Amino acid sequence: MAEFVDFEEITCSRCGVKMALARADFRYLGHNFHTEVMRCPKCGAVYIPEELAEGKIADAETALEDK
């Protein structure tokens, strides 16, 4: 079982500012998905929970970097 992380306490390791929830859209196997991710409002770094890091979220990372 994955442990729940207290999102309120997640800060960007680069900027030291609190991350905020943001919607991330991504495509996986021809389908469009969206999910809520914690994102740094300053540099745009995204915090990826372990349970989401196992595959599909990798595409979201790519999409965000393309901007």
- Contacting Zn ion within 20-59 (CB under 5 A): 40, 42-43, 45
**Two structure tokens written together for 39:** 């994102």
Residue 45 or 56 having the CB closest to Zn ion: 45
Under the binding rule (CB under 5 A), the answer on residue 63 touching Zn ion is no
Q: How far apart are CA 8 and CA 62, in angstroms?
A: 25
Stretch that binds Zn ion, among 4-12, 26-34, 48-56, 57-65 (CB under 5 A): 4-12
Burial class (CB in 10 A: 0-12, 13-18, 19+), 64: middle
Residue 33 or 47 having the CB closest to Zn ion: 47
